[in-house]
Structure 1
């Protein structure tokens, strides 16, 4: 199985989208698509782990596929706004690692001060 960096993902999505005259959708349209894809992922999670079971007429969808769809649309969003996903992730992790460093019970039993 191939492993991708965020840079690889962004380049591959851009190569795909660049084939078409339409290009990337507007930010508002991408937000709507992202919401739709996250909803489909939520529906699959609810069917698998929640109380709402699928109708007999509904086919099986892979959770992995739904997550992949979310990544694709999120990458389109980032590319369309010229946002580097690696930098966005680093910024988010730095914030979380600082803000939440003592929020949860650590497995090693130590609290970072």
Structure 2
């Protein structure tokens, strides 16, 4: 599924509800909440705060997908084509960071 398909699927799902997309500040709060859930899970797995023995293992993939969902909601509500935005962002990184890090031999042609 490409990004535009994801945007359409989310829009179709949200479109079935009278409330529609949340206002931008509410979505920012939701995004912050979802990133916090990811941070908590990362801290439990790789940080200094282990889970309690009775706490279940979290799902990092699902936490990342939750963040992707709210980002897609944000883009849809603001009329942003994420595929086009992603292309512009990658062009920015390719130009700005072309020589920032040591390249692997097989990737020198990128």
TM-score normalised according to structure 1 size: 0.90
In the aligned structure 2, how far is the partner of 1:57 from the partner of 1:26? 37
Whole-Å Cα distance in 2 between the matches of residues 77 and 88 of structure 1? 13
1:58 equivalenced with 2:55 (yes/no): yes
Structure 2 residue corresponding to 1:96, chosen from 93, 98, 102: 93
Q: May I ask how many residue pairs the two structures share in their alignment?
A: 109
RMSD over equivalenced CA pairs, Å: 1.7
CA positional deviation for 1:55: 1.9
Q: Which residue of 2 aligns with 1:76?
A: 73
TM-aligned CA deviation for residue 83 of structure 1: 0.3
CA distance in structure 1 between the aligned counterparts of 2:71 and 2:56, rounded to whole angstroms: 25
Which of the pair is proportionally richer in helix? Answer: 2
Structure 1: unaligned runs, 5 residues or longer: none
Gaps of at least 5 residues in structure 2 are none
Q: CA deviation at 1:58?
A: 2.5
C-alpha distance in 1 between matches for 2:90 and 2:50? 35
